[in-house]
Amino acid sequence: MSRIIADLEKRTELYVDAFNAGDADALEDFYTEEAIAVWEPGKPLTGQARRDYQRAFLSRGPRITAVPRQSFVTGDTALLIVDWTIDTVDESGTAEQLRGIGVDVLRLGEDAVWRYAVDDPYGQED
């Protein structure tokens, strides 16, 4: 089980690298085809809407730090609890810091790669 947890934590590191590089195409590889992202509380996005939102957000040059807090695995499904902080600017160009405790569900693909099925960065309150 510890190897699986290490793989998941490495996946988080790789996600952070792609996010901080602003590489929307690379980030897309971290998600299942039907993945749900809840980047604004109460507003789940899927498909092209999810991809468009992510691309627009990355265009502002945000920088993320993310540290896995807990990992749970059963078969081909994993639950990650992740502490994260994003330094960015809002639509008007004003600096802001976003933070939360993400609740993420990942699935292990046939290619042995973990991908986000549900990405809910505001899934748990402090």
**DSSP of 108-123:** E-TTS-EEEEEEEEEE
Going along the chain from its start, the domains and CATH numbers come out as 2-124 (3.10.450.50)
Predicted model pTM: 0.89
Q: Which of 79, 65, 55 is nearest to 16 (CA)?
A: 65
For residue 103, what pLDDT is reported? 95
**Which helix (H) or strand (E) is 24 found in, with range?**
helix 24-28
Residue 89 CA from chain centroid, whole number: 19
Residue 75 sits at φ, ψ, to 5 deg, of: 60, -120
Tens digit of pLDDT for each residue in 7-63? 888 889 999 999 999 999 999 999 999 999 999 888 999 999 999 999 999 999 999
For residue 40, what pLDDT is reported? 87
Tens digit of pLDDT for each residue in 64-116? 999 999 999 999 999 999 999 999 998 888 999 999 999 999 999 999 899 99
